[in-house]
Amino acid sequence: MHSVILGTGSAAPENVVTNHDLEKIMDTSDEWIVQRTGIKSRHISLPGEKFSDFALPASRLALERAGLEATDIDFIFAGTMTPDYLMPAGACSVQALLGAEKATAMDVCAACSGFIYGLSIADKYLRCDPTLNILVIGGEIVSHHLDWDDRTTAVLFGDAVGAAVIGARADGHRILAVETGSNGNLGELLYIQGTGSATPVTRDFDIKDNYIQMRGREIFKHAIKNMVEVSNRALANAGKTVEEITKIIPHQANMRIIEMLAKQFKKPMEEVFVNIDRYGNTSAGTIPVALNEAATTGFLEPGDLVLLTVFGGGLTWAAAVVEW
Ligand X SMILES: CC(C)(COP(=O)(O)OP(=O)(O)OC[C@H]1O[C@@H](n2cnc3c(N)ncnc32)[C@H](O)[C@@H]1OP(=O)(O)O)[C@@H](O)C(=O)NCCC(=O)NCCS
Binding site for ligand X (CB under 6 A): 28, 32-33, 36-37, 112, 151-152, 155, 190, 214, 216-217, 219-220, 223, 253-254, 257, 281, 311-312
Q: How far is the CB of 34 from ligand X (least distance, A)?
A: 11
**Shortest Cβ distance from residue 314 to ligand X (Å)?**
9
Look up 128 and say whether it is catalytic: no
112 is catalytic: yes
Q: Within a 13 Å sphere around the CA of 155, how many CA atoms are in the beta-carbon half?
A: 29
CB of 312 to ligand X, least distance (A): 4
User: Beta-strand (E) ranges in the chain?
Assistant: 2-11, 16-18, 41-43, 75-79, 104-108, 134-140, 160-169, 173-182, 190-192, 212-214, 247-250, 305-312, 316-323
Distance CA 160, CA 138 (A): 9
Q: How far apart are CA 182 and CA 230, in angstroms?
A: 10
Q: Which residue among the candidates 112, 133, 173, 254 is catalytic per the annotation? A: 112
Residue 232 falls in the annotated catalytic set: no
Report the residue number, 7 or 114, with the smaller CB distance to ligand X.
114
The catalytic position among 109, 251, 254, 292 is 251
Q: With beta carbons less than 8 A apart as the criterion, state whether 307 and 271 touch.
A: no
Position closest to ligand X via CB: 216
Round to whole Å and give the CA distance between 222 and 245: 23
The CA-atom distances, in angstroms, between 306 and each of 78, 108, 180, 213, 259 are 22, 23, 17, 32, 17
**Parallel, antiparallel, or unpaired for β 173-182 and 316-323?**
antiparallel
Alpha-carbon distance of 1 to 129, in angstroms, equals 11
Q: Which amino acid is at 104?
A: T
Shortest CB 206 distance to ligand X, Å: 22
Q: How far is the CB of 302 from ligand X (least distance, A)?
A: 31
Q: How many CB atoms sit inside 10 A of residue 276's CB?
A: 26
Q: Which of 226, 254, 281, 292 is catalytic?
A: 281
SS3 315: coil
Q: What is the nearest approach in angstroms of ligand X to the Cβ of residue 7?
A: 26
Active site residues: 112, 251, 281
